Chain A
Amino acid sequence: DAKTTQPPSMDCAEGRAANLPCNHSTISGNEYVYWYRQIHSQGPQYIIHGLKNNETNEMASLIITEDRKSSTLILPHATLRDTAVYYCIVRVDHQGGKLIFGQGTELSVKP
């Protein structure tokens, strides 16, 4: 699995967009980019995933660069409840449930 690099921590003002970067320069063609988050003392929660096209759902948007070496998770209007550790994971399809978590980015949303 390709390695990912994320900043250890970020701050964001409530109501503003939170942009969380992830570097995955060694990603291969069949690897997807997944984002999960973990709110304190809870199990991780799936946010979004994509291969090469930008993706959007009710929680967030995922922007993947054309060369696929990096991506950005965007929370359009961050709230205090978005304070969590965000994990960027790359994995191949049909790999089952195995997820390799890095250290993630601790996002603090401040009022």
Chain B
Amino acid sequence: DTAVSQTPKYLVTQMGNDKSIKCEQNLGHDTMYWYKQDSKKFLKIMFSYNNKELIINETVPNRFSPKSPDKAHLNLHINSLELGDSAVYFCASSQSKGSHGNEQFFGPGTRLTVL
């Protein structure tokens, strides 16, 4: 059974387009995240939701808008795509916010290429 799944796996699109990436977790976790991993493998948090409430909102262009319809889903919509948005986007989930090491389970990633 897939714990954290993302669709699509690959996304190739033109500059200026709007696209969405979907994420679902079947682990019963309360917290979900979006990360961006650039070409140098640097993994940087973008957003975090706990029980559908936004709790982390890093310095990300407002062209990026997360949406959590329920605690098992966290989608990422990107408007007016730019070349610099090309990266691998990872969704992750964890049991809850707070202490004790907080293992995050990652999805397989969505490789976005903006032409």
- Asked whether A and B interact, the reply is no
